[in-house]
Amino acid sequence: MTEIDARLREDVHLLGELLGTTIREQYGEAFLDTIERIRADAKADRNSGPDNGKTATEQLSSRLNDLDEEQLLPVARAFNQFLNLANIAEQYQLIRRRDEDQPPPFENVVLEQLLEKLKQAGHSAESLARQVGRLEIELVLTAHPTEVARRTLIQKYDAIAAQLAAQDHRDLVPAEREQIRQRLQRLIAEAWHTEEIRRTRPTPVDEAKWGFAVIEHSLWHAVPNHLRKVDQALHAATGLHLPLEAAPVRFASWMGGDRDGNPNVTAPVTREVLLLARWMAADLFLRDVDHLAAELSMQQASQALRKAVGDSAEPYRALLKQLRERLRATRNWAQASLAQAQPAPAEVLSNNRDLLAPLELCFQSLHECGMGVIADGPLLDCLRRAVTFGLFLVRLDVRQDSSRHTAALSEITDYLGLGRYADWDEETRITFLLQELNNRRPLLPGYFKPAAETAEVLATCREIAAAPAASLGSYVISMAGAASDVLAVQLLLKEAGVQRPMRVVPLFETLADLDNAGPVIERLLLLPGYRSRLHGPQEVMIGYSDSAKDAGTTAAAWAQYRAQENLVSICHAQSVELLLFHGRGGTVGRGGGPAHAAILSQPPGSVAGRFRTTEQGEMIRFKFGLPDIAEQNLNLYLAAVLEATLLPPPPPEPAWRALMDELASDGVKAYRDVVRENPQFVEYFRQSTPEQELGRLPLGSRPAKRRQGGIESLRAIPWIFGWTQTRLMLPAWLGWEAALSKALERGEGELLASMREHWPFFRTRIDMLEMVLAKADADIARFYDERLVQDSLKPLGAHLRDLLSQACAVVLGLTGQTQLLAHSPETLKFISLRNTYLDPLHLLQAELLARSRGREAAQDSPLEQALLVTVAGIAAGLRNTG
């Protein structure tokens, strides 16, 4: 097997050695020896053959079971911390300095290569430059499943990565290397002596602040650097520059706006988050402008700049000092408004042009006066940030479940003596909603006193009315199923005083709703007056998490594809632009996977210069937590959207569609036979995974369940998280084993091979399936069953592991390999390295679950804390939560 890159191996070894030193200093040599013996047992277990594997596992399990109660937590922490350090080393490997003879990473050159490819395909320089400048990609940062690691630890991990970069220079003298080693030792000790598990759940405001911190520490630096390189690549390929006003990638957020099933997100919370975003934006731009005012000491200026500042010896500083005062006023007003609402004074910046205009004036003046080299430095970076982030930092989406709007309107119509809105059929609802939308009078009298839930819906709409339009994104309706769901929100917004168009976005989540998405949008577009209320394109959100939980990923993926095709066709026929919003998670079971391949696998015409997607939880840190890695991922997004727009994949052939219909039908039946039809399934899930205990993990502000009930009541996050912890990974593959096996039995192997070779959608699905199967581990899942599951349920576990084996076998047959991921030996090697540290955590977790279920353990007991640390450690090792 291919060895891991030597420098990566050295980094992992160094970080592990320093962690060992830290552990020895606290607990002594004997305890460190215990850790090392557990690690050696895990390695021996992995290396042992099938004949003596049971013995090796028993030895490892016995050693863990023999741990004293006070040893449980430090042992769990040791393996958890190593996996976090391995993540840092692996992440740094993506961006480390390369020797001249080493090729640059694909992420760094993908745009340059694509522009050449597009030119060869016949696209002119002018059309390419125009298309790049017009791209609208929006990445929506979401709090769920939020982040397992605490923010204070993330900052220490970033500092460790910075020290790995500092030592990555060949010309360091021994004293410098020793100094870096001492810094690393200190940072690792700080991380070790910091609790990795929060004591309390974060509030929605805490989550929003975490999102703002990602912008402050990473994206604020990555965006201008990324755009500078885009401009260079564009100019090299076309001779043209990226326009100053271009912002191909922007950011939005659900943190503080997503109230679907989260009673902690209220109207006051949304107002506070909007104000915090304005405060943070003003503070960040104030730092930039302070820096620029210090640098731009030049005297020569254009007539336009002279006219703006009068007779000044330092005109650039004079103009920037005016802007600085307005930014200070904006920050002070936002700070004061957090305590008590107050009108904004005239000097408060509220229009982004007021921020951009002075910066553009300085930029143009410097160029006119022959000082372009100065203009194109930090001033250009600040301009790019102003266009991308603006005065509101991120646009806040609001999300609410359609049932809450129905309930609110039912209370209103009942109060008005019109009957209950919830009892009306769709046609009656639409007639009423259109009539009220066109009516100039208010629907409600001022003295109407609604119940608490209706009052909250109306209060949210009033906050939307009060907020500047540029601070808000879309109003997303989860579990949307009909045209009336969209009109209902439009009416509630109108009633609250929203006088501007706002994008109201239906989210189609279940299999049935995805199949019905096209007819719903067509009905909307044909309604009188609806288009006049559209704000730009018709936005539609495609749900990945709940559709996969409902039907399995085989049927869900195909339903998502067909829904997009249908929406593209309908909007084209109605001459309406379409914006598809992809509600992807971090894991394959929730629509996750490599973004570049996923975008290129979308139906032709569905990515027409526009793309909107969620970035969830821990994936935000992995993809955007360090500036250089953030640049790489921004590059991938931009290149993929550009390619999907100008070189879309061909539509699937009729034979492929027919086979995909059969795969989806077989897949959903196999999935639901297990998940919905087997009466033992829910109880097996609860016994064999830490699903019950996940509710105690302070992951995010949102409850783990929407309501009481079975699988359908679970959010997608604990549903995926539970199976990931036991390595069965069931939601990501269940159904594929039956669908693909039956296709092969029907003699359709050649057709499957053709689909995989020529159809990006199918190839990407199989690639993601292979990746998740490579992370799955039937032996680990079996151990959980043996330790936790009652005897009557164990046959179900054995059946599921048999299905997992079938899934692996059929994928190997389809790819022609003898081992999963054989085409990526370095990935395999690193999975193997991680398993040495993951295995003890899995076995320890199963033991801790057994102990904790056998008695009542206090929330802060060592046993309970150790259990939560194993959850966090496994998530870190697999780089997946929900």
Per-block mean pLDDT, blocks of 10 residues, the chain (882 long): 70 93 95 90 73 63 82 91 89 76 84 96 96 97 63 84 87 92 96 83 89 93 98 97 96 95 94 98 98 96 95 95 98 96 94 97 98 97 98 98 98 96 98 96 92 97 96 96 98 95 94 96 96 91 86 94 97 96 62 74 94 86 88 95 95 97 97 95 94 72 55 68 93 96 96 96 94 94 95 98 98 94 85 86 91 71 86 81 41
393, 280 in Cβ contact below 8 A?
Answer: yes
pLDDT of residue 772: 92
pLDDT of residue 700: 61
Maximum CA pair distance of the chain? 89
Omega of the bond leading into 50 within 30 degrees of 0 (cis): no
The C-alpha atoms of residue 698 and residue 872 are separated, in whole angstroms, by 11
Task: Tell me which residue has tokens 């605490």.
Answer: 150
Within this chain, do residues 584 and 703 fall inside the same structural domain, yes or no? no
Burial class, 304, CB count within 10 angstroms (exposed 0-12 / middle 13-18 / buried 19+): exposed
pLDDT of residue 588: 38
Assess if residue 262 is contained within a domain.
Answer: no
Within this chain, do residues 585 and 711 fall inside the same structural domain, yes or no? no
Assess if residue 623 is contained within a domain.
Answer: no
Q: How far apart are the first and last CA of the chain?
A: 31
420, 413 in Cβ contact below 8 A?
Answer: yes
Lookup: tokens for 818: 């003898």
| Cα–Cα distance list, 64 to 72, 346, 407, 733 (Å) | 9, 66, 53, 31
Number of structural domains, the chain?
2
Contacts 24+ apart (CB under 8 A), 150-156: 150/194, 150/195, 150/196, 150/197, 150/198, 151/210, 151/213, 152/194, 153/84, 153/191, 153/194, 153/196, 154/621, 154/625, 155/217, 156/187, 156/190, 156/191, 156/194
Within this chain, do residues 558 and 661 fall inside the same structural domain, yes or no? no
Lookup: tokens for 373: 């080299």
Assess if residue 236 is contained within a domain.
Answer: no
Within this chain, do residues 811 and 713 fall inside the same structural domain, yes or no? yes
Q: Is 623 a catalytic residue?
A: no
Question: Which SS3 state, helix, strand or coil, does residue 117 take?
Answer: helix
Within this chain, do residues 582 and 499 fall inside the same structural domain, yes or no? yes
Question: Count of CB atoms within 10 A of residue 623's CB?
Answer: 22
Angle at 836 between CA 833 and CA 840, to 5 degrees: 150
Within this chain, do residues 664 and 586 fall inside the same structural domain, yes or no? no
For residue 253, list its beta bridge partners. 141, 396
Assess if residue 846 is contained within a domain.
Answer: no
Q: Among 792, 823, 854, identify where a domain stops.
A: 823
For residue 540, list its beta bridge partners. 580
Within this chain, do residues 585 and 701 fall inside the same structural domain, yes or no? no
Write down the catalytic residue from 43, 221, 405, 549: 549
Assess if residue 302 is contained within a domain.
Answer: no
Assess if residue 807 is contained within a domain.
Answer: yes
Within this chain, do residues 432 and 581 fall inside the same structural domain, yes or no? yes
Q: What are residue 581's phi and psi, to 5 degrees?
A: -110, 115
Q: Among 593, 616, 644, identify where a domain stops.
A: 593
Within this chain, do residues 539 and 661 fall inside the same structural domain, yes or no? no
For 479, the domain range is 395-593
Assess if residue 543 is contained within a domain.
Answer: yes
pTM for this one?
Answer: 0.92
Q: Is 549 a catalytic residue?
A: yes
Name the residue among 11, 9, 60, 54 with its Cα closest to residue 35.
60
Assess if residue 55 is contained within a domain.
Answer: no
Q: Where are the alpha helices (DSSP H) in 135-248?
A: 151-166, 174-192, 204-214, 220-238
Within this chain, do residues 422 and 565 fall inside the same structural domain, yes or no? yes
**Could you tell me how far CA 670 lies from the centroid of its own chain?**
29
Write down the catalytic residue from 43, 144, 156, 596: 144
The C-alpha atoms of residue 18 and residue 191 are separated, in whole angstroms, by 12
Angle at 795 between CA 791 and CA 801, to 5 degrees: 125
In this structure, the chain runs to a length of: 882
Here the CATH number for the domain that contains residue 495 is 3.20.20
Q: Among 823, 855, 872, identify where a domain stops.
A: 823
Name the residue among 738, 689, 682, 690 with its Cα closest to residue 713.
682
Within this chain, do residues 688 and 582 fall inside the same structural domain, yes or no? no
Within this chain, do residues 582 and 668 fall inside the same structural domain, yes or no? no
Query: If you write DSSP's letter for every residue of 487-546 in order, what string do you get?
Result: HHHHHHHHHTT--S---EEEEE-SHHHHHHHHHHHHHHHHSTTTGGG--SSEEEEEESHH
Contacts 24+ apart (CB under 8 A), 265-270: 265/204, 265/701, 266/456, 266/459, 266/460, 267/456, 267/459, 267/460, 267/462, 267/463, 269/203, 269/204, 269/205, 270/396, 270/398, 270/460, 270/463
Positive or negative: CA dihedral 85, 90, 95, 97: positive
**Could you tell me how far CA 337 lies from the centroid of its own chain?**
31
Question: Which SS3 state, helix, strand or coil, does residue 478 take?
Answer: strand
